[in-house]
Structure 1
Amino acid sequence: MKNPNIDYGSYPDRGILCVDMKSFYASCAAVARGLDPLICPLAVVADMERRGSVVLAATPAMKEKYGIRTGSRLFEIPSVPEIVIVSAQMKTYLEISTQVTDLFHKFVPKEKIHTYSVDESFLEVGNGEGRFSNPEETAQMIIDELKETFHLDAAIGIGPNMLLAKLCLDLEAKKKGVARWTYDNFREKLWPVAPLSEMWGIGPRLERRLNRMGIWSVGQLAKFPLEQLEKAFGVMGNQFFYHANGVDLSDPGAPIIQGQVSYGKSQILLRDYHKPEDVKYVILEMCEEVARRARRKGHAGRTISLGIGYSKTEGGSGFHRSVSVEHPTSITMDLYRACLVLFSRYYNGEVVRKISISLGNITEDSDIQLDLFQHARDRKRDLGYVMDEIRERYGQDMLLRAVSWTDAGTARHRSRLVGGHYAE
């Protein structure tokens, strides 16, 4: 079957800006100390007391001069007088991020802004019909004002929709400062992209599956038979095809890739975990968090996934497997039992350093038909919501499972963090 013809004239050019604050955390830390983030070698680390602590951000000078970047370790930073090392101050970064969003209100109304992350936002400015002329001029005005007001640098990708704006940012604007993709020029910029993991939304596992189908570049994905993609990936195959062809109908505030709703959590452990029982303690804590995130949205899911990453001392490999349960659930112990099945089946006894858990195949929790032969199931589900309400009102550490008080538990430590880091 022939692929459908795409009429780009039927899709509006909404003039979407994807604004990325360059080296945001490191730049904020430098400016707060009266330093120039463009020339000062500064690194932000998660925990100053741990030599193996991860570098969360680094200024351009730190990257270029010393090769220290996000993901490096504290012990890798040279002992040089000009280098500045600071701990993460997430509360401060969040406050500055809020002030930056307030600045955006000068250019577009609140409903046209989507804060994607602490340092990245989408703004819908229109295609040359707004109060600030064309999108390129608006983008440059925003960059100039960010420098003048906050002494922070930014890059802005412009596109007719959210997807192309994001891809323009990642693939071109981060090098140039401001760049614009349109329905007329995106093919020459996007289709040559390879490997496929350079395409936003395609991770290593998905890339390998597409490679096995003979798809190695975005252009090949765009021309691949749609029917075969849908057969292999379902509705996501349809989205892969249209995204590779530059089509995205998401509104600011909605996920860029619709239909990928899932709830998950991943953490790199603070130390190597040698005992399987200790790993299970952390899995239980994380199942509690994933279930809570689903309940917060009134959702439940059927597919539970567990990922285990082994320590670098073991070669850094691991596994990622999923299992589907009969009834959608948001009950912590349901997730935990499923994870234990996967863990016992695939764990090979190596030292563990990373754990990830997710709940997918989502449905509305209120739509679930309760099993008449499991009389306590409705009470277990309701209990989860009651526990969530107590935590929201009195703090996340007010109700913790007993495993969190063991040496293996991590929840007590994480409850003192903001955005995963100490709130200083």
Structure 2
Amino acid sequence: MEAYIEENIKIQSIFQNYASSEDILPYSIDEAFLDLTGSLNYFYPQKDLDRKEKLDRLSRDIQKEIWSETGIYSTVGMSNANPLLAKLALDIEAKHTKTMRANWSYEDVESKVWAIRRLTDFWGIGRRTAKRLNKLGIFSIKQLAQANPDRLKKEFGVIGVQLWFHANGVDESDVHDPFHPQSHGIGNSQILPKDYERQEDIELVLREMAEQVAIRLRRRHKKAACIGLYVGFSKKEKRKSIACQKKIEPSQLTRVLSDHVITLFRQKYQAGAVRQIAIRYDNLVDDVYQSFSLFDDTEKIEKQEKLESTVDRIREKFGFVSLQKGSSLLENSRSVARSKLVGGHSAGGLDGLK
């Protein structure tokens, strides 16, 4: 993963030889959108070349430099229309062409976009969305494009209308002004390296994850008033996963949140080997919010808050593993192993462990 990141940084640097940083939008660890509108005439001023030809030549130059500097073959999806068609050109066609480039425009919607065979091959449509579309009698992108947008809005809300526009090749997104969804909660997930069959081992990992997300809460100066839990079973179990949540008094204390997670787990779990788990804290409030009941030991709560704050500061200065519970030495503990991973691909997000 570290090598992957290093190569990605090199490629991002190459992009800046052809476009300004404002015209580059990293989309994932191995994809990016480039707006080359302002670069075409600079690199190819010939008036006898149209925009499509200039874009193809400039994309070819970028491919060659990436290969020359890194040895990596790259694919390019292009469009003079919008980012969506460029993305579809990349995913559907470019990977299978000799040049590893493809350009889709509005003129290609009926012949190429509508020709996409599986709904799940289309950007933004997963298996669940595809099933819901199937229930509406929609099994292809062409059928989606010709569906009644009002019916789609009734079933999916504004997302349904967006799917209808996309199926017709219409996309108003802007590389210079990307949409950033507002998060109202903090969560984390992980796929376990093996089936966890003993309940005590499952609870051990749940407590570790509850702590990790609690650290993130404190870093953001938030408290959670709702906890959510997901438990996915091993394939051999052939049973439905657990997905549940409960409201709690706002808290950011590891001990309190961990206890709530375990209580919720014990209420729902009966038996079975587990392979995937996720924890989420929602309904966040500022950490200045505080409420006590007549039965709370306020002095004990304040001591716990100071203790966890001290532990957080030590970990921030010396690393997450500088202070660990004895349980982290157990065979099935995941906290130390996950703290050594890079990025979120293997750990479902490592913020709180770094």
Structure 2 length normalisation: TM-score?
A: 0.74
Cα drift, residue 278 of structure 1 = 1.4
1:109 partnered with 2:20: yes
Q: For 2:335 and 2:211, locate their aligned partners in 1 and report how far apart those are by CA, in whole Å.
A: 10
Change (3 A) 1:369 1:218: farther
Q: For 2:226 and 2:107, locate their aligned partners in 1 and report how far apart those are by CA, in whole Å.
A: 40
Q: For 1:340 and 1:299, locate their aligned partners in 2 and report how far apart those are by CA, in whole Å.
A: 21
Where does residue 105 of structure 2 map in the other structure? Answer: 182
Q: For 2:304 and 2:110, locate their aligned partners in 1 and report how far apart those are by CA, in whole Å.
A: 52
1:416 partnered with 2:337: no
Task: Note the 1:355-394 alignment, pairs <5 A.
Answer: 355-358=277-280, 365-366=285-286, 370=289, 372-373=291-292, 390-394=314-318
Partner deviation per Cα, 1:68-116 (whole Å, 9 max, x = no partner): xxxxxxxxxxxxxxxxxxxxxx323322221221111100112222223
Cα drift, residue 182 of structure 1 = 2.1
Q: For 1:329 and 1:249, locate their aligned partners in 2 and report how far apart those are by CA, in whole Å.
A: 41
Q: For 1:269 and 1:135, locate their aligned partners in 2 and report how far apart those are by CA, in whole Å.
A: 45
**Which consecutive residues of structure 2, in runs of 5 or more, have no partner in the other structure?**
45-53, 348-354
Contact 2:231/2:243 (CA < 8 Å) preserved in 1?
Answer: no
Where does residue 48 of structure 2 map in the other structure? Answer: none
Cα drift, residue 141 of structure 1 = 0.8
Where does residue 170 of structure 1 map in the other structure? Answer: 91
341-350 vs 294-303, greater mean Cα deviation: 294-303
Contact 1:305/1:322 (CA < 8 Å) preserved in 2?
Answer: yes
Larger Rg: 2
Q: For 2:277 and 2:161, locate their aligned partners in 1 and report how far apart those are by CA, in whole Å.
A: 31
Q: For 2:41 and 2:220, locate their aligned partners in 1 and report how far apart those are by CA, in whole Å.
A: 35
Change (3 A) 1:302 1:182: farther
Contact 1:108/1:124 (CA < 8 Å) preserved in 2?
Answer: yes
Among 265, 268, 271, the residue aligned to 1:343: 265
Q: For 2:260 and 2:78, locate their aligned partners in 1 and report how far apart those are by CA, in whole Å.
A: 43
Where does residue 7 of structure 2 map in the other structure? Answer: 96
Q: For 1:245 and 1:408, locate their aligned partners in 2 and report how far apart those are by CA, in whole Å.
A: 50
Contact 1:307/1:318 (CA < 8 Å) preserved in 2?
Answer: no
Partner deviation per Cα, 1:16-52 (whole Å, 9 max, x = no partner): xxxxxxxxxxxxxxxxxxxxxxxxxxxxxxxxxxxxx
Task: Note the 1:236-247 alignment, pairs <5 A.
Answer: 236-247=159-170
Change (3 A) 1:270 1:391: same
Task: Note the 1:134-213 alignment, pairs <5 A.
Answer: 134-159=54-79, 160-176=81-97, 177-213=100-136
Counterpart code for 1:150: T
Change (3 A) 1:351 1:190: same
Contact 2:227/2:248 (CA < 8 Å) preserved in 1?
Answer: no
**Which consecutive residues of structure 1, in runs of 5 or more, have no partner in the other structure?**
1-89
3-state SS of 2:169 partner: coil
1:396 partnered with 2:315: no
1:353 partnered with 2:353: no
Cα drift, residue 387 of structure 1 = 5.8
Q: For 2:34 and 2:78, locate their aligned partners in 1 and report how far apart those are by CA, in whole Å.
A: 10
291-300 vs 115-124, greater mean Cα deviation: 291-300
Partner deviation per Cα, 1:280-305 (whole Å, 9 max, x = no partner): 22122223334555666677777755
Change (3 A) 1:294 1:117: farther
Cα drift, residue 191 of structure 1 = 3.0
Task: Note the 1:60-99 alignment, pairs <5 A.
Answer: 90-99=1-10
Contact 1:305/1:320 (CA < 8 Å) preserved in 2?
Answer: no
Q: Which has the higher helix share?
A: 2
Where does residue 220 of structure 1 map in the other structure? Answer: 143
Where does residue 268 of structure 1 map in the other structure? Answer: 191
1:124 partnered with 2:35: yes
Cα drift, residue 149 of structure 1 = 1.7
1:313 partnered with 2:264: no
- Equivalent pairs, count: 329
Change (3 A) 1:421 1:214: closer
Q: For 2:147 and 2:192, locate their aligned partners in 1 and report how far apart those are by CA, in whole Å.
A: 40
